[in-house]
Amino acid sequence: MDVRQDTKVYPYLFNNEWKESASGETVQIKSPDDGKVAGEVPAMSQEEVDAAVKSAADVQENWEATEGHERSQLLHRWAEELEKMTDEIGEMIHLEVGKTLSSAKGEVKRTAQLIRHTAEEGLRTHGSFIQGDAFPGASKSTKAMVQKVPHGVVLAIAPFNYPVNLAASKIAPALITGNTVVFKPATQGAISGLLMVKALVKAGLPAGVLNVVTGRGSVIGDFVVTHPKIDMITFTGGTGTGQHIAKKASMIPVVLELGGKDPAIVLEDADLEKTANEIVSGALSYSGQRCTAIKRVMVVNSVADELVAKIKEKVENLTVGKSSENANITPMIDQKSADFVVSLIEDAKKKGATVVTEGTQEANLLGGTLLDHVTEDMDVAWEEQFGPVIPVIRIDNELEAVNLEKRNEYGLQASIFTQNLENAFAIADKLNVGTVQVNGKTSRGPDHFPFLGVKNSGQGVQGIGRSIDSMLRDKVLVLNL
């Protein structure tokens, strides 16, 4: 994949050929750190997207017919090639989405591990055999063989915040199960996604088994989602976009990983030092731009003052600056996102929240802000900030926390901090979320654990094994002997 040094246009992949859009139009990708252009990707037309989808559909049966161990070997080679490109891809993640270099390279290494695990787990997929006589009126002479077969062409849409890991977590399960893939990276993060695909081509990807589409969502978004040859969609991103995709997709399977408003529920017997560490790390790593970030703290009154003091000290010790400076809190992905976070802080101030500590506000660089005495009438109590803000809601008891969480439109994860495990189990049973963490921050990993959201946080289940399951459907062969 050669890049024109004068304009830094990164071509898209079509049938294992790197191509620029026929129109020559591109989309510029600017670094959150300094606003400089990190590169450009083709603004593909609907005709070019149509060709990409049809190409993936044309080769799907051949790919499905490939032996499972051969598909697995391709993924192992992909992981190897990805690791060889750790520095190159890590540098691009750093430039495109504003992660520190160490965090960006860590994402590449984690992705290689995810691909290897998928390559192994995919070999263990098998169907089942059912005897007819288990149901009255049928006999043993009727038998069903239940096979697991791929959907066909999978549309994989990745987000900006993990442009490689959350792309591969969709692509690898699709490929190991015999699906072909149309990969649409997030615009901010598209170059990192293209470099990840470059590693897959180096590993021996057959032509057409994965094609990439890049461009403006307003032009190609709905077009690719509603394409008649797309058989399944897997998407990570904002709740509004996910709901739109689900409606447009209509009759095909959709797996959605959407937003969250993950609470940390802190009880009076919690280890407050550990709790404060977990909250600050969980809320502010990558400037809070994670669906699983802790986005509100519900703490019982008796320990609230002490916990807030500990959080304040830790927030104020964090460095704030560019990702190139290896700062703890780095610029947000764009100005629009930063403006939204500032609007939530201002709304909370007007309605009486206590500003315990307030970070800098310089363009899209926001320091950590800790708000105490947040009440239900404040937007920050309910809206997903996706930025470096910790709102603290004081509660009388755990039942109040459960009630607050049940009225939340999201249901991704929740953390409970207590030394009474029996109490933690009782509260966990009452929370309507995908995952409950006990004495730990809300978090996606490990990658082989089931990962899901309920309510407006998602649809379907991910995590390596579950993602593989989602890429397959039953096909029943009945033998009438």
257 classed as catalytic: yes
Contacts of 67 (CB under 8 A, 6+ apart): none
- The closest alpha carbon to 215, from 8, 3, 45, 23, belongs to 45
- Among candidate residues 257, 383, 384, 405, the one labeled active-site is 257
Beta strands 361-362; 365-366: pairing state: antiparallel
Q: What is the chain's percent helix, strand, coil content, to nearest 5?
A: 40, 25, 35
Starting at the edge strand found earlier in the chain, the sheet holding 232-236 runs: 210-212, 180-184, 153-157, 232-236, 254-257, 458-459
DSSP secondary structure of 233-266: EEEES-HHHHHHHHHHHTTS-EEEE----EEEEE
- Among candidate residues 291, 383, 384, 398, the one labeled active-site is 291
Say if CB 157 and CB 214 are below 8 A apart. no
Starting at the edge strand found earlier in the chain, the sheet holding 142-150 runs: 128-131, 142-150, 472-480
CA-CA distance, 384 to 19, in Å (whole number)?
38
291 classed as catalytic: yes
DSSP secondary structure of 106-139: HHHHHHHHHHHHHHHHGGG---EEEEGGGSTT--
Q: Retrieve residue 442's tokens.
A: 């809300």
Catalytic site residues? 257, 291
